[in-house]
């Protein structure tokens, strides 16, 4: 079973990520692409097991974010690690739409982005490559404080110093 | 100037530790080249034609003498004993070792400096007027606002992986000395009818392949909303800027595609969610930061007797008089002047200074300008707050160190990129062209008679040398593998910013200086009264210049 970082712990991934344009869905807890979730609503409502949704960070999430807030898991995919759109999408989901479930960064993320990703509201991180998670977890705490407002710290440093 | 508290220091120290670890993992093969690239860039490290290049941030151009001494030490210990001042007020080391960069960053951190976000696709150093705080035409000191922006932009969690680099400049005066309309965001400080401070916000300026002058998107932004509004602009850019083609990735392309009106609407809509939120600035924070930019202890000077004395010294000494004329400037405090130390003597790459000179400048700053100095976007150094009664002494010392070439604002004070001597992207060399021009125009009386003239040289269309906004711009082009040069005229970086027009077909290097001379001849023959080169060009147009260089039929 694949492993990932969640809330600073290394855990086994209980979710099965279904590639986009799926016709059939496996049993168990599944993470389906937003379009598939839309097209197969009825079927997925009957699904035995939990259903989460994933999409790329470039989506116009305003169009559908509200319909996702009660899900247990949303995953934002980074097609390239230098594509920073997922950072904005995560903050919007957390700060504007009040999403409280697991927000997972998936795709081509790298360890050295962990600190910034968690600031933007991600609390779970799944790497494509098989990296040493025991080492990687350290990057979550690269900095002990930050100037800006973000999901992890809703007050700017200037109000706290 | 701003001083770090424990929070600022901790962030910079932790950044050094983070990058040290990243460098070690890279050297151990645990981070790929591709993954290391943005990490090193965001710590200032480029890999160049001959060696890596490290760009060190000089926030809004302000330095202390102590910091300068540290830079001298760094350039000696880790480099070849000289540094380069850039057009964005930063400093570059041309020969550092990748392995030693973490040590360099640690040394910088010990004097409250860093190289954070000096390259890469992120928010870069915020620049401003080198005369901030002393400029006669100042509306309000821009430096506290630059510092507030520096803190907001440093390690901003959402905007570390933008489509492309992002540059902000703040103008606090009537006249622009920061080329702020050629930045991704240009901020103009203004006061409204009630006397409250606010900002005019311009977006989408930039040079490079597609030079664009920024468009106004907000006429008055009350000061407390600065950061939430910037967040809104950056979020729109981060989400909608082009990521498929790096030549179309700057915000200027998005602003053009959407039109400034639509862009402004999108920003306002995003801002509606952020406005008044926790990032809204408090009076307390604004006052805290302003408290670092207080005026030094000026002495009361008898201005009349001081200027009489200065005039006496000047009439006795032509060299001093020239320097006084070109390299010093009155400031709003009577009895004090701002002095430019020229980093453009002939035969030295524009903007280069040696370790020894850095130490001399540090000493001069301690002796004459309250221990502070500024780097300028024209690649010189400014010492402000110099007592007029001490100018002669300062001149003597600066001259001995090769820092008193009286050419500020003249044709020989050119902006010039590193070009083919250092840069792997270059089409042509630029430093030898600058030198040839300085050697050709070495008759000071002639040069002074030409008056204010901005000549800018870039080695390729990336435009690091600002050729589009020079009164005369020179651009290196590649013609069947050979180095050629295109000449442009009529650009300007002022508030009436204008982009230069191409004069005609490109020229070989030999022909460049002679052609410049022809342009100057046309100017001298046609100018009226006090007209500058630019003003004459604007009045008579390009044709006469073109004919002189290419002949009547060209
Ligand atoms: C030697 C290594 C350098 C390299 C490889 C380099 C590369 C580049 C590139 C590729 C661009 C175009 C970016 C774009 O349009 O998005 C650019 C723009 C620029 N560079 Fe450099 N550069 C170098 C050195 C410098 C230096 C030494 C300076 C200052 C003297 C400088 C100042 C600038 C400025 C002001 C721009 C224009 C920014 C704008 O488009 O608004 N660069 N550089
Ligand atoms: S303008 Fe071109 S040649 Fe000059 S430094 Fe920039 S990229 Fe290099």
- Rg of the Cα trace of chain A? 16
How far away is chain A from the Cα of B140, in angstroms, using its nearest Cα?
Answer: 22
Q: Rounded distance, CA B200 to CA B59, Å?
A: 21
Q: How high does pLDDT run on average in chain B?
A: 94
pLDDT score, position B520: 96
Q: Rounded distance, CA B122 to CA A72, Å?
A: 33
pLDDT class for B496, splitting at 50, 70, 90?
confident
Sorted by where each starts, the structural domains of chain B and their CATH numbers stand as 6-109 (3.90.480.20), 134-290 (3.30.413.10), 303-400 (3.90.480.20), 415-550 (3.30.413.10)
CA proximity to B346, closest of B250, B211, B463, B444: B444
How far away is chain A from the Cα of B476, in angstroms, using its nearest Cα?
Answer: 31
Which residues are B92's β-sheet partners? B55, B84
Residue A119, domain extent: 3-160
Average pLDDT over residues B122-136: 95
The answer to whether B159 faces chain A, any CB pair under 8 Å, is: yes
pLDDT score, position B167: 97
pLDDT score, position B553: 58
Q: Rounded distance, CA B119 to CA B182, Å?
A: 17
Tokens read off for B384: 């402000």
Residue of B nearest to A152 (CA): B157
- The secondary element (H helix, E strand) that includes residue B507 is strand B507-508
> Cβ of B279: how many Cβ atoms within 10 Å?
25
pLDDT score, position B552: 67
The pTM score is 0.94
Average pLDDT over residues B129-150: 96
Q: Which residue has the tokens 């008579």?
A: B540
Q: Do B160 and A116 touch (CB under 8 A)?
A: yes
The answer to whether A88 faces chain B, any CB pair under 8 Å, is: yes
* CATH number of the CATH domain containing A136: 3.40.50
Q: Can you state the percent helix, strand and coil of chain B, rounding each to 5?
A: 40, 20, 40
Complex-level ipTM beyond the 0.95 threshold: yes
Q: Rounded distance, CA B505 to CA B112, Å?
A: 48
- The residue whose C-alpha atom lies closest to atom 35 belonging to ligand 1 is B464
Say if CB A131 and CB A122 are below 8 A apart.
no
Q: Rounded distance, CA B513 to CA B432, Å?
A: 11
Q: Rounded distance, CA B533 to CA B539, Å?
A: 10
pLDDT tens for each residue of B75-99 = 999 999 999 999 889 999 988 999 9
pLDDT class for B345, splitting at 50, 70, 90?
very high
DSSP A23: S
Give the Å distance between the CA of B462 and the centre of ligand 1.
6
**At B92, phi and psi to the nearest 5?**
-120, 140
pLDDT class for A147, splitting at 50, 70, 90?
very high
Residue of A nearest to B237 (CA): A85
Average pLDDT over residues B414-436: 93
Average pLDDT over residues B290-295: 94
Indicate if the pLDDT at residue B494 is higher than 90.
Answer: no
Indicate if the pLDDT at residue B554 is higher than 70.
Answer: no
Q: Rounded distance, CA B330 to CA B384, Å?
A: 10
How far away is chain B from the Cα of A142, in angstroms, using its nearest Cα?
Answer: 6
Domain count, chain A: 1
Q: Rounded distance, CA B131 to CA B339, Å?
A: 10
Average pLDDT over residues A4-29: 95
pLDDT score, position B544: 95
Q: Do A116 and B18 touch (CB under 8 A)?
A: no
- The residue whose C-alpha atom lies closest to atom 19 belonging to ligand 1 is B464
Q: Rounded distance, CA B393 to CA B380, Å?
A: 20
Instruction: Give the 3-state secondary structure of residue A47.
Output: coil
Instruction: Give the 3-state secondary structure of residue B210.
Output: coil
State which ligand 2 atom lies nearest to the alpha carbon of B459: 3
Three-state DSSP string of B378-432: CCCEEEEEEEHHHHHHHHHHHHHCCCCCCCCCCCCCCEECCHHHCCCCCCCCCHH
Three-state DSSP string of A79-131: CCCCCCHHHHHHHHHHHHCCCCCEEEEEECCCHHHHHHHHHCCCCEECCCCCC
By the 10 Å C-beta count (0-12 exposed, 13-18 middle, 19+ buried), B465 is classed as buried
Tokens read off for B51: 């060696």
Q: What percent of chain B has pLDDT over 90?
A: 88
Indicate if the pLDDT at residue B50 is higher than 80.
Answer: no
pLDDT tens for each residue of B175-231 = 999 999 999 999 999 999 999 999 999 999 999 888 999 999 999 999 999 999 999
Q: What percent of chain B has pLDDT over 70?
A: 99
Average pLDDT over residues B513-540: 95
Q: How many CA atoms lie within 13 A of A153 on its CB side?
A: 20
The answer to whether A129 faces chain B, any CB pair under 8 Å, is: no
Q: Is ligand 2 within 6 A of the CB of residue B419? A: yes
Residues present in chain A in total = 161
Q: Do B285 and A159 touch (CB under 8 A)?
A: yes
Q: Rounded distance, CA B218 to CA B122, Å?
A: 23
Q: Do B10 and A116 touch (CB under 8 A)?
A: no
Say if CB B128 and CB B146 are below 8 A apart.
yes
Q: Do A149 and B277 touch (CB under 8 A)?
A: yes
pLDDT class for B255, splitting at 50, 70, 90?
very high
Instruction: Give the 3-state secondary structure of residue B486.
Output: strand
By the 10 Å C-beta count (0-12 exposed, 13-18 middle, 19+ buried), B496 is classed as exposed
pLDDT tens for each residue of B331-342 = 999 899 999 999
């Amino acid at each position: 079973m694949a492993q990932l970082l969640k809330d600073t712990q290394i855990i086994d991934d209980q979710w099965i990520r279904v590639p986009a344009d799926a016709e059939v869905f496996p049993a168990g807890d599944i993470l389906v692409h937003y379009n598939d979730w839309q097209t197969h609503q009825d079927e997925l409502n009957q699904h035995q097991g939990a259903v989460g949704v994933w999409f790329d960070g470039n989506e116009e999430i305003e169009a559908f974010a509200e319909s996702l807030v009660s899900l247990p898991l949303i995953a934002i995919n980074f097609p390239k690690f230098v594509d920073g759109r997922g950072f904005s999408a995560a903050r919007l989901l957390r700060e504007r739409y009040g999403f409280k479930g697991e927000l997972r960064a998936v795709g081509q993320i790298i360890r050295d982005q962990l600190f910034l990703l968690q600031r933007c509201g991600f609390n779970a991180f799944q790497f494509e490559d098989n990296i040493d998670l025991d080492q990687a977890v350290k990057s979550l705490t690269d900095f002990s404080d930050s100037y800006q407002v973000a999901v992890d710290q809703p007050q700017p440093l200037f109000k706290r110093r | 100037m701003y001083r770090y508290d424990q929070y600022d220091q901790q962030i910079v120290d932790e950044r050094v530790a983070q990058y040290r670890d990243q460098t070690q993992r890279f050297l151990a093969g645990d981070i790929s080249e591709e993954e290391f690239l943005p990490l090193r860039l965001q710590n200032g490290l480029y890999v160049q034609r001959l060696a890596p290049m490290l760009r060190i941030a000089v926030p809004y151009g302000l330095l202390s003498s102590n910091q300068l001494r540290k830079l001298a030490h760094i350039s000696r210990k880790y480099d070849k004993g000289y540094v380069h001042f850039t057009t964005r007020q930063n400093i570059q080391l041309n020969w550092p070792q990748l392995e030693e960069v973490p040590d360099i960053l640690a040394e910088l951190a010990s004097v409250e400096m860093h190289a954070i976000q000096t390259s890469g696709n992120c928010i870069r150093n915020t620049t401003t007027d080198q005369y901030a705080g002393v400029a006669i035409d100042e509306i309000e000191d821009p430096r506290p606002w630059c510092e507030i922006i520096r803190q907001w932009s440093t390690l901003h969690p959402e905007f570390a992986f933008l489509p492309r680099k992002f540059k902000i400049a703040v103008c606090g005066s009537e006249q622009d000395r920061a080329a702020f309309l050629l930045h991704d965001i240009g901020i103009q400080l203004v006061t409204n009818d009630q006397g409250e401070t606010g900002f005019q916000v311009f977006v989408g300026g930039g040079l490079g392949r597609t030079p664009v002058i920024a468009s106004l998107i907000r006429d008055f932004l009350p000061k407390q909303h600065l950061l939430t509004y910037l967040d809104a602009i950056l979020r729109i850019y981060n989400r909608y800027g082009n990521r498929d083609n790096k030549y179309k990735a700057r915000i200027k392309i998005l602003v053009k595609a959407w039109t400034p009106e639509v862009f402004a609407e999108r920003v306002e809509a995003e801002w509606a969610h952020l406005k008044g939120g926790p990032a809204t600035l408090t009076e307390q924070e604004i006052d805290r930061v302003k408290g670092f930019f207080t005026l030094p202890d000026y002495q009361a000077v008898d201005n009349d007797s001081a200027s009489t004395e200065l005039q006496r010294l000047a009439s006795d000494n032509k060299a001093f008089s020239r320097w006084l004329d070109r390299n010093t400037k009155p400031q709003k405090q009577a009895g004090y002047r701002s002095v430019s130390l020229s980093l453009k003597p002939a035969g030295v790459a524009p903007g280069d200074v040696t370790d020894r000179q850095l130490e001399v400048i540090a000493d001069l700053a301690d002796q004459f300008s309250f221990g502070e100095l500024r780097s300028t976007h024209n690649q010189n150094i400014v010492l402000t707050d110099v007592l007029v009664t001490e100018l002669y002494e300062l001149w003597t010392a600066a001259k001995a160190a090769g820092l008193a070439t009286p050419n500020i604002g003249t044709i020989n004070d050119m902006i010039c990129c590193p070009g083919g001597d250092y840069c792997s992207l270059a089409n042509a060399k630029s430093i030898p062209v600058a030198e040839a021009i300085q050697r050709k125009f070495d008759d000071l009386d002639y040069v002074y008679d030409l008056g204010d003239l901005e000549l800018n040289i870039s080695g390729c269309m990336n435009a690091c040398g600002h050729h589009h906004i020079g009164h005369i711009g020179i651009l290196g082009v590649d013609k069947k593998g050979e180095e050629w040069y295109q000449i442009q005229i009529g650009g300007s970086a002022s508030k009436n910013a204008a982009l230069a027009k191409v004069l005609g077909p490109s020229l070989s290097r030999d022909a460049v200086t002679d052609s410049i001379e022809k342009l100057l001849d046309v100017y001298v023959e046609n100018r009226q009264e006090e007209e500058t080169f630019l003003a004459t060009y604007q009045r008579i147009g390009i044709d006469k210049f073109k004919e002189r260089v290419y002949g009547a039929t060209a």
